[in-house]
Structure 1
Amino acid sequence: MDAMSTEPAKTLPLPVPFDIPLLRIEGVVKSFGSFRAVDRLSLDIRAGEFFALLGPSGCGKTTLLRMLAGFETPDEGRILLSGEDIAQVLPHQRPVNMMFQNYALFPHLSVRDNIAFGLRRAGMPRADIATRVEEMVALVKLEGMETRKPDQLSGGQRQRVALARSLARRPKVLLLDEPLAALDKKLREATQQELMELQRRLGMTFIIVTHDQEEAMTMAGRIGVMDAGRLEQVATPRELYEAPLSRWIAEFVGDVNLFDGQLEARELGRLTIATRDAGHIVAVEPRQYITKTVVSVAIRPEKVKLSRRGPATDAEHAHALNRLEGVVCDVSYLGGLTVYKVKLDSGAVIRSAMANTTRIDMDAYSLSQRVVAWFTPDDCMVLEQ
């Protein structure tokens, strides 16, 4: 090679960092009059992720979804998709599609034409549309129903048509606004599994909005819990259930027993909390350092064991330190488990969920029976109020 060559050096494209999320929401605000629906919310969502926005009605989750789709514009903040700010991009011009809660199918169009609608608007050639529609019909298992109108379909079939139409344009992100709310329990559970399998097969990013915690925990790899327009916690389902960051999240996600009290001692990784309703409770110190003295102790019902005389006090069971005596006041048999309510001597009620491990459970407890409810320090979550 000529050392004096004047040919310009070739520059290689810079690699895209692996830690850049597919979708980045930065300080987004959305108000309707004096009501702030979304309040300075920031969130990163990775490519290929199944993410759930979970929260009570009116918390802002659907408003956030509509901003991602382009149906609402943020008052402040940015929405970045693959590094590009799409906050001002029109809905049909962004690689995002939304499946609505009511499916929004055209009643006068067939299954085939409903699926093809967005492709025709995008100007796709007719032959390509036919191929894509055929792919989508097979993907959602609607073969043989292509000529039917929506009123000739069941609720589950209409949901599949809406899903196929949303996927037909191959968006980078699919937004699902409570898509299973209209389905009965068995069909909803079956459709959850189908959606999860579909998402894995396509490798696409799905964002689902729901107020159903069980649905969010079943389907999503991560969950963002919203309240009053803010993100309260973003975590995996297990982290959210076993390590909530606040008393509110512990109450919102799953059933929980809560005892309010004062932090009295901190020793060897254990906290002693004096409560009004359960006496002194010993709990393992959480990873998140407790700075306040007024705290709540949360114990999930499945962590509360019942026995007639309480746990043994020998060395093998020395860790079972928390014992509460009371009387069984309610029994709910739910098939796989039985939920007991025990009225403690203090007057408070604690719930225990115990697995039914035998066909006829000879160890079941009955109404008015006196029992000991016990749990270990590891079973307790200490939360600041």
Structure 2
Amino acid sequence: MLTTDGSVTEKLTGARAPLLRIASVTKRFGGVTAVDGLSLDIQPGEFFALLGPSGCGKTSLLRMLAGFESPDAGSILLDGADIAAVPPHQRPINMMFQSYALFPHLSVAGNIAFGLKRAGMSRAAIDERVGEMLALVQLQGLEKRRPDQLSGGQRQRVALARSLALRPRVLLLDEPLAALDKKLRQSTQAELIALRRKLGMTFIIVTHDQEEAMTVADRIGVMDKGRLVQVGTPRELYESPNSRWIASFVGDINIIEGIVVAQKGSLLTVKTADAGTVIVTGTAKPVAGMTVPIAIRPEKIRLSAETASSELANALRGDVVDIDYLGGVSVYRIKLTSGAILRVTAANLVRSEAAFFAIGQHVSLSFPPDACIVLDK
């Protein structure tokens, strides 16, 4: 018999049972399939991010987890029990909306206490819990203010406190930081991570911001057209994308195509029109004559004013045609002799103007074979 914490399954299989199991879930709105046969396991205490472009189905999936929408097919299991028939207010799952949805006529304390009153808690228990939540989100002293007397960041904290007050098993976050400025968004991301660790709760966040997903999440599920394209840790998605689409969507990337002309162990010799002949480390099993896309992250390419050594596996020449100065790094666009453009990111380690490359400057580029990602498709 499966216990609610999955301990029996863990003892028998050595693996922890998922808290949430989404099994072949499909959701249609008229003739549009928003979620298409999606399956996913989410573990207890995990911070999971659903990442994807607008219209990919991530919010529709979140609303089904919350109970605001019902699947047309498939099942959603919480601790092994199907929750399809459980209404939203009876699920141990709370959702924090992008708009925060605070009650304008209620104070901060009143907003946080709203769900607790509906749950029938005593006045003393409500006051104690509200005090805990105010301390948790660092809003002590503001309990009597109304939402229109708060900053955007403070309203976000009230919405978070209200969502956490009932101590749900799962907290759903629908683009909760989208309205915040960059500095406040970064500090709030850190606070969310700390809260999740302190509470031991499972968080699921929906976002289209790649940097945000990679900052807060233990694992990320990238969605496109209602399907999960890849699930992995931030490092796995960035360093080992399973397709050209993922490589292009997650982070910045250079992609060149070529034909495999030789293979020696894990090293492939690939002839390209853009970068000549390059040596790459292959993880798949391409064969001679096969056309393969090769992905190279901009920060993996070394840029130099000196002529690259002939001993380097991959050495190219080009001219700087554009520069984006971003403070900590500069992004250079380099036009190769073939006419192709490669993006190269270099850390700005010193302040001296002489350390930077200039538009029009002739430069050398190089990258090791293991900096390349040979994509399957």
Q: Deviations over 1:64-104 (max 9, x none)?
A: 00000000100111111111111221100110000000000
Structure-2 separation of matches of 1:106 and 1:182: 18
For the pair 1:233 / 2:225, whether they are aligned, the reply is no
State the SS of the aligned residue for 1:166.
helix
The CA deviation at 1:361 is 5.0
2:340 maps to what in 1? 348
Q: Are 1:310 and 1:374, in contact at CA under 8 Å, matched by a contact in 2?
A: no
State the SS of the aligned residue for 1:266: strand
Q: How many Å separate the matches in 2 of 1:33 and 1:370?
A: 57
Task: Provide the residue aligned with 1:378 in structure 2.
Answer: 370
Deviations 1:318-377 (A, max 9, x none): 4x3112211100122211111111011111100111111222153321111111111110
Q: Partner amino acid for 2:340?
A: A
**Residue among 154, 157, 162 paired with 2:159:** 162
Give the whole-Å Cα distance in 1 for the aligned partners of 2:116 and 2:57.
Answer: 31
Say if 2:180 is the partner of 1:212. Answer: no
Secondary structure of 1:17's counterpart equals helix
- Report how far residue 312 of structure 1 moved: 2.5
Hey, what's the Cα distance between the residues in 2 that align with 1:309 and 1:183?
Answer: 44
Which residue number in structure 2 is paired with residue 22 of structure 1?
A: 19
Please state how far the C-alpha of 1:305 moved relative to its aligned partner.
0.9
Q: Are 1:367 and 2:364 counterparts?
A: no
SS in 2 for 1:362: helix
Q: State the superposition RMSD in angstroms.
A: 1.7
Match of 2:80 in 1: 83
Q: How does 1:1-385 map to 2 (within 5 A)?
A: 15-18=7-10, 19-286=16-283, 288-290=284-286, 293-313=290-310, 318=311, 320-360=312-352, 362-385=354-377
Q: Which position in structure 2 is the counterpart of 1:8?
A: none
Distance 1:280 1:68 in 2: 50
Are 2:49 and 2:221, in contact at CA under 8 Å, matched by a contact in 1? yes
Distance 2:108 2:206 in 1: 25
Task: Tell me whether 220-229 or 120-129 shows the greater mean CA deviation.
Answer: 120-129
Contact 1:344/1:350, CA 8 A, preserved across alignment: yes
Answer with 206-215 or 354-363: which moved more. Answer: 354-363
Q: 2: CA distance between counterparts of 1:120 and 1:294?
A: 64
| Comparing 234-243 and 288-297, the one that deviates more | 288-297
Q: Give TM-score scaled by structure 1 length.
A: 0.93
Number of residue equivalences: 369
Distance 1:289 1:91, change over 3 A: farther
Q: Distance in 1 between matches of 2:307 and 2:121?
A: 71
Secondary structure at the counterpart of residue 105 of structure 1:
coil
Question: Which whole-Å CA distance do the structure 1 matches of 2:85 and 2:57 have between them?
Answer: 20
Structure 2 Cα separation of the partners of residues 250 and 166 of structure 1: 35
Aligned partners of 1:377, 1:336: CA distance in 2, in Å? 26
Q: Deviations over 1:99-146 (max 9, x none)?
A: 000000011111011001111111111211111111111110101110
Q: Is the 8 A contact 1:172 1:205 kept in 2?
A: yes
Unmatched 5+ stretches in structure 2: 11-15
Q: How many angstroms apart in 2 are the aligned matches of 1:108 and 1:231?
A: 41
1:7 is matched with which residue?
A: none
4+ residue runs over 6 A deviation: none
Deviation at 1:290, TM superposition (A): 4.1
Q: Secondary structure at the match of 1:263?
A: strand
Which residue identity lines up with residue 340 of structure 1 in the other structure? Y
Letter aligned with residue 325 of structure 1: R
- Alignment check: 8 A CA contact 1:294 1:384 kept: no
Structure 1, unaligned stretches of length 5 or more?
A: 1-10
Letter in 1 for 2:32: F
Relative to the length of structure 2, the TM-score reads 0.95
Q: 1: CA distance between counterparts of 2:309 and 2:223?
A: 43
Q: Secondary structure at the match of 2:255?
A: strand
Q: Which of 1 and 2 has greater Rg?
A: 1
Residue identity matched to 1:295? V
Pairwise CA distance, 1:275:
1.9
Aligned to 2:13: none
Relative to structure 2, which stretch is displaced further, 330-339 or 221-230?
330-339
CA deviations 1:263-309 (Å, max 9, x no partner) are: 332222111222221122211011x4447923211000001111223
SS in 1 for 2:44: coil
Structure 1 distance, partners of 2:254, 2:187, is 31
Tell me if structure 1 keeps the 8 A contact 2:321–2:335: yes
Give the drift of 1:194.
Answer: 0.6
Q: Aligned AA for 1:67?
A: M
Residues 54 and 210 in structure 1, CA contact (< 8 A), matched pair in contact too:
yes
